[in-house]
Structure 1
Amino acid sequence: MALRLSRAVPIWRNICSVSVRAMSQTGQWGEGAGKGGGSGGAVRDAGGTFGKKQAAQEEQYFKKLQAEQLKKLKESVHDEIKYHKDQIEDHEEAIERHQKKLKDLAELEK
């Protein structure tokens, strides 16, 4: 049953996911387990300068990842806009062709 429920999750969540990180109110990141650093491994659990450095590197990684995701999303939207503008132009040309045909047929009837 658990497999069926996991399949019900929409696929688009995996395509366009944005990571959000929050800091605990009790302390700074990397200050040890339970103090905002969480249980992220031996270095972060120990706290100190290395824990803070690792927390900062993780934050930098997630900010970079989010920026890349937003860039890809913007590019995708721009591509869609261009596609639809091209479609509009194609349809307008088709309308003009059909109107010309109707005009030519109307002249033949006279």
Structure 2
Amino acid sequence: MALRLCILTRGTTRVLARGLADRHGRGVGKGGGAGGAIREAGGAFGERQAAKEEDYFRKKTRDAVEAYRRQAGRAVGKPLKEKAAEAESFCEKMKRQYDELKAQIQKEIKHYEAELEDHKAILEMHRRHVKEINDEVNKCK
């Protein structure tokens, strides 16, 4: 791309074109700009150096945008469908845990009811023994 300057003089238009390089790295005075010895020299190495710099800054910009998107994604949260699926999953998990706990408690209740029956039988047996002992003592008096 050349810089064109239009000059109007007494009815005629003259176009002056300044020879500029169309890309960075073509050399000083050719639009490539100064940027170190390699870029000043111009040529393929200057173009390559300029391309590397462009890639570097493009990558930095892309990384910054990705970091911003990740941060914004965390701030906004997950989409509603994902939240609903997680809530359903959590509810199912809690229901399973509740059912397991309920079954365990019912099992313990049956165990303690059986122990209670055994203890009642043992208590009744001890009461009979105490009564028999009292009867024996009363006979001796």
Compute the TM-score of the two structures, normalised by the length of structure 1: 0.49
Higher relative contact order (CA 8 A, sep 6+): 1
Bigger share in strand = 2
